[in-house]
Amino acid sequence: MTKSPEQDHDPGDVAVIGMSLRAPGARTKEQFWDNLVHGRESVSFLAKDDIHVDETLIHSPFYVRACGVLDTYDTFDPSVFGISDRMAAAMTPENRLFLESAWETLEDGGYDPDRLNAEIGMYGANNPQTAALYSSPPDRVSVGPEAIEASLAWSPDTMTSNALYYMGLTGEAVTVAAVCAGFHYSVHLACQSLLLGQTDMAIAGGSMVRLPHPRGHLWEENRILSKDGHCRPFDARGTGTALSSGVVTVLLKPLGQAVADRDHIYAVVKGSAVNNNGVSVMAYGLAQPERMSACIANAMEVGGVTPDTVSMYEANGLGMPMTDELEVHAASMAFGKQTATTSLGGVKGNVGHGGVVSGGFGAVKAAMSLYHRTLPMTINLTEVNEDLDLPSTPFVPQLETADWETESGIRRAGITSIGGGGYNAHLVLEEPPSLTGRAPEAEGRPRLATLSALDDEALARQRARLKDWLAARPDLRLDDICFSLNLGRKVMARRWAAVVRSRGELVAALSGDSAHGPATETAAAPRVDIDAFQRSEEGIVGTGKDAQELSELAAAWVTGQQVDFGSLHQGETSRRVPLPTYPFQPRRFWRTDW
């Protein structure tokens, strides 16, 4: 592993360099974060006509019409992946969501799958029940190519291998079955593979679509589903949680390599651990405090982290007094006696229980908290359950959103996920390293910015989204923006390019016509003397020294020529930064019979 010239890193550290999320009430991780810091609840309360379950069930006095609805559960953009409409309909909703999320995660990290010469591990958890509810398996009497492809599209097992295949990647593909701890298990396996050198980067996550969708739940006494549809973590009046769906993926790389590669880093995985209760005195499926405590302590030990430096604890937090008490007791044993204060939170109050992706909601919350140095409020917590005995623990409920101050000098978060069947899992995240000593950006230097899409409509949406993104983030440097656009996006048929000297010029070009527009059959592009440029295996080589040369490169590129962007940015100190990902144009795909 390459050591950073700026900071000596623990060889076991893994960087989170990309993230993608779709959750109830949030199409992106940025919307999700905004909902958290403003204390919004994204569980919907449905009309009877909106629920697709048996009529008898709906009219039960114990049926609760609450659900964390995922708006995009039945839509997909197959054209980006070269997938036919027939195959798109055959794919289960979880397969489709995971594929789009993996694409977004890679783009968020600033990588183009076509230019990656690396082994990419793909690890994901899903719900095997979804495939059975979505459609019956295809008839396997025929073993022709179509039957085989339909089987692989439908199977929960091939979710991760499908993602590798349709994204044009190679590496490990592991689909995880660990019920509600699935996301954590995926990240745990991905980190192990990275640290063993089996993969260069890894995408890990989970995808969950509860069918029928949308749906409510049947309330039963002393079960984990809420009586009124609201989840109240750590509250004396809590009665459980609501069901929800979603998808979360993260892009991982060994930290030292991520720093050397000038990657953007949201957070650092310091340690992870998993175990199972096995046989215990607790009822099967309930948390076993000693085993959960051992899992939490092991994750901290693996990362060389002492409990007094973990100032945020994101709990599994089902919002049911008995389960919350068991979890707080287990975490208290792992943290031991200490005087440091640890913020206690639970994201299920915001989005409900996402099954295999529920740990992902908590992990993204923690990563964004570390990145923004902010602790979001825990909503629906108005009467703290006294039986938790919080004064005797290091935990203090996070009742209001606040700046994250820490007594230890470094921000760290622990995130617990548990699953029925005795699964326990814990992640320890740390704030990203502080990268200092970077020279100021050269003012007035001309730079080339590029965008591409499958069609002109998508290209126009990209321009609009990038313009709004830049307006909201005035701290982004032009050299980083151009570096990330030119090297971190798949090159498609419809192209746009601009030569600019400042952020203002780029915003103006995105807003108007002061740039090379999309290449079309009738567009009159400037004549370019292609023979005047040197070439490499990657395309036309430019030095990037003057605006005229860049303008000629831009004109060549939008008319379909291949440009060696690596050579163009050679010797720069530009870094990858998050920018808007591809604007999928989803259509509804739903199949109930074969």
The percentage of residues in the chain with a pLDDT greater than 90, rounded to a whole number, is: 77
**What pLDDT is attached to residue 524?**
39
Q: Are 448 and 497 in contact (CB under 8 A)?
A: yes
| Inter-CA distances, 527 with 426, 531, 545, 568, Å | 59, 12, 20, 21
For residue 68, which of 353, 357, 380, 317 has the smallest C-alpha distance? 353
**Residue-wise pLDDT tens digits, 483-505:** 999 999 999 999 999 999 999 99
Alpha-carbon distance 313 to 332, whole Å? 11
Confidence class of residue 527 from pLDDT cuts 50, 70 and 90?
low
The model's pLDDT over 9-48, given as tens digits with 9 standing for 90+, comes to: 799 999 999 999 999 999 999 999 999 999 999 999 999 8
**SS3 at position 498:** strand
Whether the predicted pLDDT of 269 surpasses 50 = yes
Of the candidates 258, 246, 253, the one whose C-alpha atom is nearest the C-alpha of residue 351 is 246
Question: Distances in Å between the alpha carbon of 56 and those of 60, 63, 76, 218?
Answer: 7, 10, 32, 12
d(CA 341, CA 408): 10
The pTM of this model reads 0.94
Mean of pLDDT values over 379-391: 97
Confidence of residue 542 (pLDDT cuts 50, 70, 90): confident
> Are the beta carbons of 137 and 280 closer than 8 angstroms?
no
Mean pLDDT check: name the lowest of 163-167, 221-225, 416-420, 437-441. Answer: 437-441
**196-215 burial, b if ≥16 CB within 10 A, otherwise e?**
eeebbbbbbbbbbbbbebbb
pLDDT in tens, 143-196: 566 666 777 888 899 999 999 999 999 999 999 999 999 999 999 999 999 999
The number of C-alpha atoms within 13 Å of 186 and in the hemisphere containing its C-beta is: 36
Quick check: 265 pLDDT over 90?
A: yes
Vertex 574 angle, CA 573 and 580, to 5°: 170
Evaluate if residue 273 carries a pLDDT over 70.
yes
Distance, CA of 354 to CA of 317 (rounded, Å): 12
Q: Is residue 424 pLDDT above 50, yes or no?
A: yes
pLDDT number for residue 521 = 32
Q: Cβ distance 496 to 452 under 8 Å?
A: yes
Output the pLDDT for position 435.
77
Residue 517 predicted with pLDDT over 90: no
Reported as a pLDDT band with limits 50, 70 and 90, residue 464 is: very high
Confidence of residue 516 (pLDDT cuts 50, 70, 90): low
Give the pLDDT band (50/70/90) at residue 141: low
pLDDT of residue 3: 36
- What does each C-alpha distance from 235 to 215, 352, 525 come to in angstroms? 25, 15, 65
Which of 94-98, 518-522, 543-547, 577-581 bottoms out in mean pLDDT, i.e. has the lowest? 518-522
pLDDT digits (tens, 9 = 90+) for 182-223: 999 999 999 999 999 999 999 999 999 999 899 999 999 989
* Fold adopted by 14-430: Peroxisomal Thiolase; Chain A, domain 1 (3.40.47)
Mean pLDDT of the region 222-227: 93
- pLDDT value of residue 4: 37
pLDDT given for residue 532 in this prediction: 65
Q: Is 53 exposed, middle or buried (0-12, 13-18, 19+ CB in 10 A)?
A: middle
Q: Residues of the chain with pLDDT > 70: what percent?
A: 92
HEC readout, 167-193: HCCECCEEEECCHHHHHHHHHHHHHHH
DSSP code, position 566: H
Mean pLDDT of the chain: 91
- pLDDT at position 84 over 50: yes
The pLDDT of residue 449: 97
CATH class label, 464-569 = mainly alpha
What single letter denotes the amino acid at residue 51?
I
> What is the C-alpha end-to-end distance of the chain, expressed in Å?
49
**How far lies 556's CA from each of 71, 478, 525, 575, in Å?**
40, 22, 8, 25
- What mean pLDDT do residues 437-460 have? 92
Per-residue pLDDT at 286: 76
Distance (Å, whole) CA 184 – CA 79: 31
Separation CA 156–CA 207 (nearest Å)? 10
Q: What is the 8-class DSSP label of residue 222?
A: T
- What's the pLDDT at 520? 36
3-state SS class at 303: coil
Residue with tokens 């973590």: 233
Average pLDDT for residues 244-250, to the nearest whole number? 98
pLDDT at 90 over 70: yes
Q: Of 316, 312, 307, 472, which is closest to residue 376 (Cα–Cα)?
A: 312
Q: What is the pLDDT of residue 284?
A: 76
The residue extents of the domains of the chain are 14-430, 464-569
